């Protein structure tokens, strides 16, 4: 360690710790943290110049940190997101979903295993988020049809999709970033299918573990007759009594026991004032009354259709749609992401309706203790919103980073005639990269251009598939990685790591290093974890005088293993509310899977990539 750079080493490590804390807290959006991180690094090296080692009078150039925006790995990730959007938008994956529904024949067990197998396979070549989005409504429908708990099905799909993403170079942006770093560091050997043998074994392990783990660790309660007692997803909605409602003139207690059976009345609001709780059931219903009720979406829709209630809440200052308008509308569900700009804000304080042209009709969240009107509720990460609107408006919601949208696959398709062309473009990238992975950036960019130029998707849809937060996160993480190398902070971390590990035992070092990566990926993003630990892994290997490749492979597998928290990866969040999970459910199932994955990967990596 060169003494002149030691102060900068500790300073950059302090920035690293600060970044990890900010990412883990989740109170500030990922893009803002990334932007701030980049600005802080530039300011540090500008205000406190760092002398270059073995160079007289030369200093590190802060503008070097901006080269991440021109990084070939970032360009590849962006281009592949556009290609994947083309596959998703043209409905190229929809026949797969339909095939599962036909083969399952009402058996949720058969449907689950088919969905797991296909989601793992598809996620090896396509971004796993649209893959999971396709399977959610299918499995929820099977769950409702067969009276089976959604908890048994949705978590395995999300986790298998993550495992499938490790199978090929293009399966995850994490793989691309680490492979690019390896090439820049002079470490060769990570090609299109380099990861496949070990990744497939890990996926098979997950395939065997997950169905039985959710059955044992998330047991489905039954009554004395053996009938399932699982709790379906419950939504809270405000239903307004219309003039022709069949319950007008009748006491609410009587209506609840007959026409509204299966729904729970939270509060009754008349002329803007809440009716006292003890008087609700005796109150005679009148036109204009607002009932805040909780129940399944199916029951709420039945109340609207059969009793004459309206599911569209009246928000002060906002128009309400007519019955004719709603007659041609579609319904979808969206989940609020952890870094959404809507978190902490009530619907009445956002321009959600005006900007998107859709209406929120019901809300589902972990805690259903609403203390005010529906439009006054602060939104939280993982909150589910049921929205209604024209199909075109719903489709536009898929390009936002503030939430993830899922609906029946056919409703998200914009150009089905181009599905074969979109698959051909993706297949060509895979086939050529299999022989020469070094041209992946070129293939991805050409593929993205062809996806838009041939009309598979529009230019705006392609650009919308690339969230700004992804670009900023990767660029800022690359800048922090470069700063760690330039200041030799990575060597400082490596020396500290080897201070507690016997340098003559590389397998033990690999095991502890992999465990560290696996832990961090459940706290911060997988891409940030990969970029931060890749230089440390190389420094550890160099210090131990062994091959760097096993440590880089451990970074890839560890960074893709975000199973222990619902916010570890976006597909976890997609199923979090839909499956009715609690945070502890991810700990129960995910922590053992993380440990199993880490242990098996540690044993297999040296067999395929010797030290």
Average pLDDT over residues 295-308: 81
User: Which range is least confidently modeled, 66-75, 505-514, 529-538?
Assistant: 66-75
Average pLDDT over residues 210-222: 77
Cβ atoms of residues 576 and 382 within 8 Å: yes
Q: Give residue 3's pLDDT band: very low, low, confident or very high (50, 70, 90).
A: very low
Sequence-ordered list of residues with C-beta below 8 angstroms from that of 344, at least 6 positions apart, any chain: 378, 379, 380
Q: How far is CA 508 from CA 89, 548, 593, in A?
A: 46, 15, 20
Q: Which segments of 348-427 are extended strands (E)?
A: 359-364, 384-389, 403-406
Q: How many CB atoms lie within 10 A of CB 435?
A: 9
pLDDT for residue 231: 60
Instruction: Kindly give the residue spans of alpha helices, DSSP state H, lying in 165-244.
Output: 173-184, 196-217
Q: Is 608 exposed, middle or buried (0-12, 13-18, 19+ CB in 10 A)?
A: middle
pLDDT for residue 199: 95
User: Which range is least confidently modeled, 125-139, 199-213, 237-251, 393-407?
Assistant: 393-407
Residue written as tokens 């006054």?
Answer: 376
pLDDT for residue 81: 83
Tokens of 155: 């978590």
Sequence-ordered list of residues with C-beta below 8 angstroms from that of 606, at least 6 positions apart, any chain: 506, 507, 510, 550
Which residues share a beta bridge with 388? 331, 359
User: Which of the given ranges, 26-35, 159-168, 331-340, has the highest pLDDT on average?
Assistant: 159-168
Q: Give residue 98's pLDDT band: very low, low, confident or very high (50, 70, 90).
A: low
Tell me the longest C-alpha to C-alpha distance in the chain.
91
3-state secondary structure of 387: strand
Cβ atoms of residues 225 and 274 within 8 Å: no
Rg (CA), the chain: 26
pLDDT above 70: percentage of residues in the chain = 86
pLDDT for residue 4: 41
pLDDT for residue 558: 94
Q: Give residue 515's pLDDT band: very low, low, confident or very high (50, 70, 90).
A: very high
User: Which range is least confidently modeled, 92-101, 536-545, 599-608?
Assistant: 92-101
Average pLDDT over residues 374-383: 78
pLDDT for residue 322: 62
Name the residue ranges covered by the structural domains of the chain.
Answer: 8-66+469-608, 74-224+420-468, 237-412
What are the backbone angles phi and psi of residue 361, rounded to the nearest 5°?
Answer: -110, -25
Cβ atoms of residues 472 and 29 within 8 Å: no
Q: Looking at the chain, how many residues does it have? A: 611
Model pTM? 0.74
Average pLDDT over residues 417-433: 86
Q: How are beta strands 273-274 and 264-270 bridged, if at all?
A: antiparallel
Q: How many CB atoms lie within 10 A of CB 49?
A: 14
pLDDT digits (tens, 9 = 90+) for 426-484: 888 888 887 877 788 888 899 999 999 998 888 887 887 777 777 887 888 888 888 88
Distance CA 128, CA 135 (A): 11
| Nearest residue to 401 (alpha-carbon basis) of 346, 475, 312, 340 | 340
pLDDT for residue 101: 64
Q: What angle do CA 548, 528, 14 make, to 5 degrees?
A: 90
Cβ atoms of residues 585 and 539 within 8 Å: no
Distance CA 142, CA 122 (A): 21
DSSP classification of residue 364: E
| Nearest residue to 457 (alpha-carbon basis) of 415, 428, 404 | 415
| Nearest residue to 12 (alpha-carbon basis) of 479, 408, 327 | 479
Average pLDDT over residues 213-234: 63
Cβ atoms of residues 304 and 276 within 8 Å: no
Distance CA 419, CA 430 (A): 17
pLDDT digits (tens, 9 = 90+) for 279-301: 888 888 888 888 888 888 888 88
User: Which of the given ranges, 180-189, 490-499, 505-514, has the highest pLDDT on average?
Assistant: 505-514
Tokens of 277: 């709780």
Inform me whether the pLDDT recorded for 228 exceeds 50.
no
Instruction: Tell me the CATH number for domain 237-412.
Output: 3.30.70.1450
Q: Which segments of 407-524 are extended strands (E)?
A: none
Average pLDDT over residues 7-30: 78
Which residues share a beta bridge with 385? 334, 363
Inform me whether the pLDDT recorded for 230 exceeds 60.
no
Tokens of 389: 């609107």
Average pLDDT over residues 294-311: 80
Q: Give residue 409's pLDDT band: very low, low, confident or very high (50, 70, 90).
A: very low
pLDDT for residue 406: 64
Q: Give residue 164's pLDDT band: very low, low, confident or very high (50, 70, 90).
A: very high
Residue written as tokens 């969230």?
Answer: 467
Tokens of 404: 């993830």
pLDDT for residue 223: 43
pLDDT for residue 209: 94
Report the mean per-residue pLDDT for the chain: 80
Residue written as tokens 């109150």?
Answer: 283
Cβ atoms of residues 338 and 381 within 8 Å: yes
Inform me whether the pLDDT recorded for 408 exceeds 60.
no
Average pLDDT over residues 71-99: 78
Cβ atoms of residues 361 and 347 within 8 Å: no
């Amino acid at each position: 360690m060169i003494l002149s750079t030691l102060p900068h080493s500790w300073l950059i490590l302090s920035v690293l710790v600060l970044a990890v804390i900010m990412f883990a807290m989740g109170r500030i959006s990922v893009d803002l943290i990334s932007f701030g991180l980049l600005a802080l690094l530039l300011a540090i090296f500008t205000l406190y110049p760092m002398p270059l080692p073995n160079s007289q009078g030369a200093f590190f150039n802060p503008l070097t940190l901006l080269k991440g925006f021109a990084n070939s790995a970032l360009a590849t990730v962006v281009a592949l997101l556009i290609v994947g959007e083309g596959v998703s938008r043209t409905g190229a994956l929809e026949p797969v979903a339909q095939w599962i529904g036909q083969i399952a024949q009402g058996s949720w067990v058969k449907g689950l295993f088919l969905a797991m197998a296909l989601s793992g396979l598809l996620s090896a070549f396509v971004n796993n988020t649209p893959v999971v989005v396709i399977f959610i409504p299918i499995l929820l429908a099977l769950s409702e049809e067969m009276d089976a708990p959604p908890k048994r099905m949705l978590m395995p799909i999300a986790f298998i999709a993550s495992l499938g993403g490790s199978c090929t170079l293009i399966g995850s942006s994490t793989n691309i970033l680490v492979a690019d770093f390896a090439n820049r560091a002079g470490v060769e050997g990570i090609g299109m299918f380099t990861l496949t043998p070990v990744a497939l074994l890990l996926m098979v392990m997950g395939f065997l573990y997950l169905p039985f783990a959710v059955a044992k660790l998330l047991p489905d309660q039954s009554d004395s007759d053996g009938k399932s007692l699982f709790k379906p997803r419950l939504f809270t909605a405000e239903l307004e009594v219309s003039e022709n409602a069949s319950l007008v003139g009748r006491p609410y207690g009587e209506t609840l026991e007959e026409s509204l059976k299966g729904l729970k009345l939270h509060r009754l609001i008349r002329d803007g004032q809440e009716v006292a709780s003890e008087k609700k059931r005796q109150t005679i219903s009148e036109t204009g009354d607002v009932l805040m009720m909780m129940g399944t979406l199916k029951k709420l829709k039945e109340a609207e259709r059969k009793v004459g209630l309206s599911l569209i809440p009246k928000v002060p200052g906002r128009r309400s749609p007519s019955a004719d308008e709603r007659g041609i509308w579609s319904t979808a569900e969206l989940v609020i992401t952890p870094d959404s700009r809507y978190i902490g804000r009530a619907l009445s304080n956002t321009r959600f309706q005006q900007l998107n042209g859709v209406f929120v009709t019901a809300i589902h969240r972990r805690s259903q203790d609403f203390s005010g009107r529906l439009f006054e509720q602060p939104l939280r990460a993982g909150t589910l919103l049921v929205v209604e609107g024209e199909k075109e408006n719903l489709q536009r919601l898929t390009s936002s980073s503030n939430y993830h949208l899922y609906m029946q696959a056919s409703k998200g398709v914009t150009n089905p005639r181009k599905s074969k062309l979109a698959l051909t473009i993706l297949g060509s990238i895979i086939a050529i990269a299999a022989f020469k992975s070094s041209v992946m950036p070129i293939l991805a960019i050409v593929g993205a251009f062809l996806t838009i130029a041939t009309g598979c998707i529009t230019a705006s849809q392609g650009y919308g598939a690339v969230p700004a937060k992804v670009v900023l996160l990767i660029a800022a993480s690359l800048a922090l990685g470069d700063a760690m190398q330039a200041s030799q902070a990575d060597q400082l971390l490596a020396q500290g790591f080897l201070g507690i590990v016997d340098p003559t035992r590389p397998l033990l070092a690999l095991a502890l290093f992999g465990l560290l990566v696996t832990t961090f990926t459940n706290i911060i993003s997988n891409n940030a974890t990969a970029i931060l630990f890749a230089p440390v892994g190389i420094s550890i290997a160099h210090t131990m005088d062994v091959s760097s490749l096993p440590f880089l492979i451990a970074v890839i597998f560890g960074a893709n293993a975000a199973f222990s928290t619902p916010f570890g990866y976006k597909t976890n969040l997609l199923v979090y509310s839909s499956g009715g999970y609690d945070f502890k459910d991810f700990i129960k199932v995910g922590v053992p899977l993380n440990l199993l994955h880490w242990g098996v990967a540690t044993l297999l990596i040296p067999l395929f990539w010797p030290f």
